[in-house]
Structure 1
Amino acid sequence: MSDCCSQNDACSSKDKKTVKDIFTANPYVSSVFSFALLAIGMCLEYLVQPAFFQGPLRFSWYLIAYIPVAFPVLKNAVKSIANGQVFNEFFLMSIATIGAFAIGQYSEGVGVMLFYSFGEILQHAAVNRARGNIQSLLDVRPEIARVFRSNKFIEVHPEEVSVGERIEVKVGEKIPLDGELLSEQTSVNTAAITGESKPKTVLKGEEILAGSINLSHVIEMKASRAFAESSISKIVELVQNANSNKAKTELLMRKLAKVYTPIVTYLAIAITVLPYFFVSDYVFTEWLSRSLIFLVISCPCALIVSIPLGYFGGIGAASKNGILFKGGDFLDQLTKINTLVVDKTGTLTKGVFQLKTIVSEPYISESELMNYLAAVEQKSTHPIAKAIQNYSENSETWEARNVKEIHGKGLKAEVKGKAVSAGSAKLLEEAGITFPHEIADIPETTILISISGEFAGYVIVADAYKDNVAESIRKIKTQGIEEIIMLSGDKQKLTEKVARDLGIDEARGGLLPEEKLRAVKEIQADRDKKVAFIGDGINDAPVLISSDIGVAMGAMGSDLAIESADVVLQTDEPLKFLTALNISKATRKIIWQNIVLALGVKLIVMAFGAFGYANLWIAVFSDVGVALLAIANAVRLQQMKFDTSSHAAANNNKPIKSSAEEAFPSELAVEKNA
């Protein structure tokens, strides 16, 4: 019996709440209700003018119209006062409309509150839409994974899949987790991750990212990361957290609002009181009306809402284009960058090396030299090591023991009981091993090999420029970037050659990671320079952190990239930086347009109101109108196009040419390509 009573009470309570929601939880209904009563009241008062619509009836009619839209505002004002935050827009609107009722301007009081509330509804809708656009754009995480268990594929949530398990993905389905492709090949749509709609071909053994859509046929893959660590989960988390990193402009406006609101409140009081001492025909209600107009137009909500909405729009537009900003602050900072520092390998070049030349000493054959080198490089993930591994795929496999990486210089190991070193000239010099000094004149990346403390030979590997990279550099220079500097661990001669080919102002080669960091700090020592660094986000993590803006390129698979960088370009196209630059400038431009528009209109109407040339209707329409214009301007960012695509120059995709021929014409006759 008590249970039934409880249920009945609950139902009764729920019914009461539903009735209450008509006027509180559903602002559209309350606004329509108030608008209807206001319209009828004004028709009776100004057009029909019946004798009965006077005195208490007129007051009661407008009061009933006022309460549904005023109640939430008055409630927030009281809560703010209780929390010690007296001066805000709720306080201004409450004082202005109550004051209007106090001097008999009932319809004006209702109109001010009605249009203020309606403006708030539209503002909230715009903000929610901006947030929703970002969320719907990015939250494409799959909900089903078909995992192989007990000799069959079963459907589970991706969170339940362990690293290493085999997964089946059908055509048109989302890749549930990051992993390695087990099938021969497939084509995937990576638009949700990279912003690129062009299908990408993935081959057996290559990485395939969660959130991509399988386009070709049924495939199998092996999970390499847990669901929470997948690339798409990182993107969603990054964008969700981006809004907590406020831009200085937004923070400044919020701080100004805290000072601005009490100032305008005291000015309104002064407008009411001070004329008493200076104006001979002073009428209290007239000056009170002017002060109320002043209060209404001074409401800072247009600025407070439109500025963060502008940053929402900028972050959303960037996400659509495959660019992730860690916050609005970095959108602002990027517009101030005048010096760009770039890494070479993987940023300007493809980082896909090909073995170009093999030169062995007389005492060792070429194949034996390569067996030693391949053994040392066997477990390395460096792009150069991959080129050596690819070359030696069909050769005899030797095992290396006690492999030791010498930071920034190369590798040491024991192969067939012999000490083998493979790396830069510095590695051999430090070990006291002599080699032909002419090797230092070869501009390309050269790997020197020593066996049992004796120089055994060297190999040359060549990289290729990325598509459109020269044009990208040229276009970036037209966007306010005064100087572009390239830092590289490669030889100075090769670095200078790349700089000449691509139109880069300065090149510094032969740098270890810590030397790159020192180089960037030296550049930053000039206070007139605001430095952005673009790197791969792995080896360059310290530089990404220390630069004014750190940009990781094509690094959605790297945890370190997301942690270190302020901006993440989800593809490895240099033109993406130009897109990021254009979006940041467009965002800043729109935000300052809103600031100038809002302050300009408010100052003009405030002046007119103070001198009696404006009424409450003009004040409220100006306030709401400015807010809506600012919001519409901010939302426009997400519809803007930031197309920086272009056609690659014919020679941009060619390998970097060797000048080693000049140094070693005879040896290069035995050149062997991978």
Structure 2
Amino acid sequence: MEERSFLKPGISLAMLIAGIVMAHANVGWFAGGAPRIAWYIVAFLPVGLGVMKEAWECAMKGDVFSEFMLMSVASIGAFAIGEYPEAVAVMLFYCIGETLQDMAVDRARDNIKSLMEFRPDHASVVTATGIVTKSPDEVAVGDIIEVRPGERVPLDGVLTTPAAALNTAALTGESVPRTIETGGEVLAGMIATDSAVRLRVARPADQSAVARILSMVEEASGRKAPAELFIRKFARVYTPTVIALAALTALVPWLWSLADASFAYDFSTWFYRALIFLVISCPCALVISIPLSYFGGIGAASRKGILFKGGNWLDAVTRLDTVVFDKTGTLTRGKFDVVKVDDKAHEGLLDVVAAMESGSNHPIAKAITEYAGSTGVSVTELKDIPGYGLAAVAGGSRWLAGTLKLLDREGVAYPEELASVPETIVACARDGRYVGHILLADTLKDDAIEAVARLRKSGVGHVEILSGDKQALVDKVADTLKVDKGYGDLLPEDKVKHIEALKHDGRNVAFVGDGINDAPVLALSNVGIAMGGLGADMAVETADVVIQNDSPAKVAAAIRIGRRTRRIVHENIVFAIGIKLLVMVLGLFGMANLWAAVFADVGVALLAVLNATRVFFDKKDSFK
């Protein structure tokens, strides 16, 4: 069904209700056969034509016994025995269910942006006459381009300006900006941090890092078949079965009468029973309650800040036995915080460093200045040493603040154990002597530990971390969270291979991430879950489930909502099929007439729909 609004179902519903009212009110012109038939045919067309067209197209492709065919046969059967309202209701219920399902999918997709928006749409090319803005596709290999602070690099290239810090988190997941030396490779998707950089283009746009990752996403998506809802599988068996049984209901008694002359065969009686059988067999309870159950599950999840991109992913999360997290921005905040200040040798160390960093936009500088607050310290002769740190004069002394490489370069001795510290260090020296350091780290989100604990409680037996950060840092986070394994120093291709290996071992894997580098593994995993609050557009678009508030604990909530929805779906399936079979048997023996068939069909459908909405209207905070 391509129609995704309630306009056509609304027209049919209005005409159906009007027809029933006129019939009960004995409206004169409506009592005649032709006007009544014509009225219900017109009511049928808005919802019936599309389904019958789908039935025909499926049949032409070899899928004769689709759910569309079952809807069509049941409707035609109802028309044949004069139950015109039932014929309209069959298609009406089906279309409402399909429309609700489509609306749920659209609601999730409306909250995400286009996959291609991540790719920069322009490049600043340096020419003899100045800077010219071009499309990345128009830039030739060997051209020089400029990238200003805060801008994303549009093409792969080689750095031609002095060493600079670039944010690589979107590509590698590293929380610390990477310092790239002159002549070093700069990849499309990186972000210039605190100074403008120039680079010589090394590859055309269609071969850049972004293009390669996009290609990986496309390939991974193609290898992952979407889960199929129960009703479609069920109809492939159910439809031919009930059609065959209905035909046998009219045919077998006739054959019996040929063998036994004492048996009086009345064609109209048995044909009537066969049509009753068809009407009873119409699975209205299933075709509306199953989509409604998924819609209810999607709605309940949305209220918790979890967006499912379709009911099939509600099914998929229930089968997960392994959850793999990205680290930076997923389990951690994705920003630096000062976690320790070692100033035993100089108590004013923090204030001096904050004063030195006050004019920088670098993430480390921002973290230190925010932590220190107002210092009142003034510095002079401030010098930026790209790739190393800062030098300045404060209180008549020459200060250094930066990486351990800065102290090595200046010949300043420092404790050997600092080299093995996994966190980011701003080492400080005064007048050529080490006086302490500031330790910064990308701290864990408040609910990161709780997220892993809830997954364990939900029955997920295996939890891992994959990251582009240093292995030592990943090990520390893995130990804190008590996950099974943590892997660091990974590129996007490494993450893809790791997920493929887990799936090859028979695991049902969910990957939870937030960056462009996570897009390929989000697409490849059985269920891709993206952090939507601060996550990259590409990750959000590629994922099957989106956590809107970036809370990792919502992953366990998503699993619980999926399981609750599946349980309701199974209840409706068992209930609807059980009642249908009972009334079918009664109908075959003449113990149930058409009114009983209609009552059983509509009543079961109503109860199934009420059950389907339980998950959405549940007031208990059971999905925390």
TM-score after normalising by structure 2: 0.61
Paired residues of 2:309 and 2:545 also in contact (CA < 8 A):
yes
User: Which residue of 565, 576, 598 maps to 1:587?
Assistant: 565
CA–CA separation in structure 2 for the residues paired with 1:294 and 1:517: 55
Deviation at 1:338, TM superposition (A): 1.0
Partner of 1:178: none
1:482 matched residue in structure 2 = 461
Aligned to 1:297: 280
Structure 1 CA distance, aligned partners of 2:300 and 2:30? 49
Query: Match of 1:357, SS?
Result: strand
Instruction: Please name the residue that 1:596 is paired with.
Output: 574
Q: Report the counterpart of residue 284 of structure 1 in structure 2.
A: 267
Deviation of 1:482 (Å): 0.5
Which of 319, 324, 327 aligns to 2:302? It is 319
Give how far 1:76 is off.
Answer: 6.6
* CA distance 1:341–1:39, shift in 2 (3 Å): same
**What number of residue pairs does the alignment pair up?**
476
Map 1:647-666; keep pairs closer than 5 Å. Answer: none
Q: Does 1:390 align with 2:366?
A: no
2:78 alignment counterpart: 97
Question: 1:507 and 2:463 equivalent?
Answer: no
- Is the aligned partner of 1:34 residue 2:20? yes
* 1:308 correspondence with 2:291: yes
> Could you say which residue in structure 2 is the equivalent of 1:566?
544
Check the 8 A contact 1:575/1:644 in 2, yes or no: no
For 1:491 and 1:82, how far apart are their aligned partners in 2? 57
Q: Deviations over 1:270-315 (max 9, x none)?
A: 3212321224312212221221111112223433333222222222
CA positional deviation for 1:465: 4.2
Distance in 2 separating the partners of 1:92 and 1:301: 13
Cα distance change on mapping 1:308 and 1:82 into 2, 3 Å: closer
The correspondence of residues 544-559 of structure 1 with structure 2, limited to 5 A, is: 544-553=522-531, 555-556=533-534, 558-559=536-537
Cα distance in 2 for partners of 1:129, 1:576 equals 24
Question: Is 2:39 aligned against 1:68?
Answer: yes
Classify 1:434/1:308 alpha carbon distance in 2 versus 1 (closer, same or farther; 3 Å). farther
1:619 maps onto 2:608 in alignment: no
- 1:505/1:62 Cα in 2 relative to 1: closer, same or farther (>3 Å)? same
Q: Structure 1 482/298 Cα, relative in aligned 2: closer, same or farther at 3 Å? A: same
For residues 599 and 392 of structure 1, the distance between their equivalents in structure 2, rounded to whole angstroms, comes to 68
Matched residue type, 1:637: V
Q: What's 2:202 paired with?
A: none
Read off the aligned partner of 2:312 and give its amino acid letter: D
Of 245, 256, 259, the match for 1:267: 245
| Cα distance change on mapping 1:473 and 1:421 into 2, 3 Å | same
Alignment partner of 2:228: what SS?
helix
Q: CA deviation at 1:587?
A: 2.0
Conservation of the 8 A alpha-carbon contact between 1:119 and 1:627: no
Return the offset for 1:527.
Answer: 3.0
Distance 2:52 2:447 in 1: 59
**1:300 alignment partner AA:** P
1:378 aligns with 2:360: yes
1:335 is aligned to 318
Judging changes above 3 Å, is the alpha-carbon distance between structure 1 residues 560 and 361 closer, same or farther for their aligned structure 2 residues?
farther
Q: Secondary structure at the match of 2:613?
A: helix
Contact 1:134–1:316 (Cα < 8 Å) also in 2: no
1:114 equivalent among 85, 88, 93: 85
Q: Which residue is equivalent to 1:466? A: 445
| AA in 2 matched with 1:354 | V
Instruction: Spell out the pairing of 1:511-530 with structure 2 (5 A cutoff).
Output: 511-514=489-492, 517=495, 520-521=498-499, 524-530=502-508
Structure 1 Cα separation of the partners of residues 415 and 79 of structure 2: 92
**Partner AA of 2:20 in structure 1:** S
Checking the alignment, whether the CA contact within 8 Å between 1:338 and 1:529 is kept in structure 2 is yes
Indicate if the aligned counterparts of 2:426 and 2:437 stay in contact, CA closer than 8 A: yes
1:94-243 mapped onto 2 (5 Å cutoff): 94-100=75-81, 109-110=82-83, 113-118=84-89
Contact 2:355/2:379 (CA < 8 Å) preserved in 1?
Answer: no
Q: Distance in 1 between matches of 2:299 and 2:543?
A: 18
The 1:616/1:133 distance shift into structure 2, 3 A limit, reads same
One-letter code aligned to 1:587? T
Residues 1:467 and 1:307: Cα distance change in structure 2 (over 3 Å): same
Q: Secondary structure at the match of 1:613?
A: coil
- Looking at structure 1, the residues matched to 471 and 103 of structure 2 have their Cα atoms a distance apart, in angstroms, of 49
- Identify which range, 528-537 or 541-550, moves more after superposition: 541-550
Q: 1:466 to 1:27 in 2, by over 3 A?
A: closer
Q: 1:412 to 1:608 in 2, by over 3 A?
A: farther
User: Structure 2: how far apart are the matches of 1:620 and 1:645?
Assistant: 38
Identity of aligned residues (%): 37
Contact 2:90–2:284 (CA under 8 A) maintained in structure 1: no
Letter in structure 1 aligned against 2:227: K
Deviation for aligned residue 1:634: 2.3
Call closer, same or farther: CA 1:618–1:26 in 2, change over 3 Å: closer
Q: 1:536 Cα deviation (Å)?
A: 3.4
8 Å Cα contact 1:130/1:635 also seen in 2 = no
RMSD (CA atoms) = 5.1
**Aligned equivalents of 2:316, 2:404: Cα separation in 1:** 38
In the alignment, the residues of structure 1 paired with residue 505 and residue 453 of structure 2 have an alpha-carbon distance, to the nearest angstrom, of 25
Q: Is the 8 A contact 2:427 2:438 kept in 1?
A: yes
Letter in 2 for 1:28: A
CA distance in 1, matches of 2:274, 2:482: 62
Greater shift after overlay, 86-95 or 299-308?
86-95
Match of 1:176 in 2: none
Residue 399 of structure 1 deviates from its aligned partner by: 5.9
One-letter code aligned to 1:599: I
**How far apart are the structure 2 equivalents of 1:566 and 1:356?**
39
| Counterpart position of 2:584 | 606
Structure 1: gaps spanning 5 or more residues: 1-20, 42-56, 101-108, 141-244, 404-410, 647-674
TM-score, length-scaled by structure 1: 0.57
Q: Is the 8 A contact 2:496 2:524 kept in 1?
A: no
Could you say what secondary structure the match of 1:302 adopts? helix
Match of 1:8 in 2: none
Please list the CA deviations of residues 219-270 of structure 1 after superposition, one character each: whole Å capped at 9, or x if unmatched. Answer: xxxxxxxxxxxxxxxxxxxxxxxxxx996232x5336536643553343223
- Give, in whole Å, the separation in 2 of the partners of 1:317 and 1:645: 9
**Could you tell me how far apart the structure 1 residues matched to 2:92 and 2:571 are?**
23
1:367-423 C-alpha deviation (Å, 9 max, x unpaired): 899489949x93444xx453245368766484648x5xxxxxxx568989xxx9966
Answer yes or no: is the 8 Å Cα contact 2:336–2:440 preserved in 1. Answer: no
Q: CA deviation at 1:479?
A: 0.8
**Amino acid of the structure 2 residue aligned with 1:474:** A
What stretches of structure 2 of length at least 5 have no aligned partner? 1-6, 60-67, 112-223, 393-399
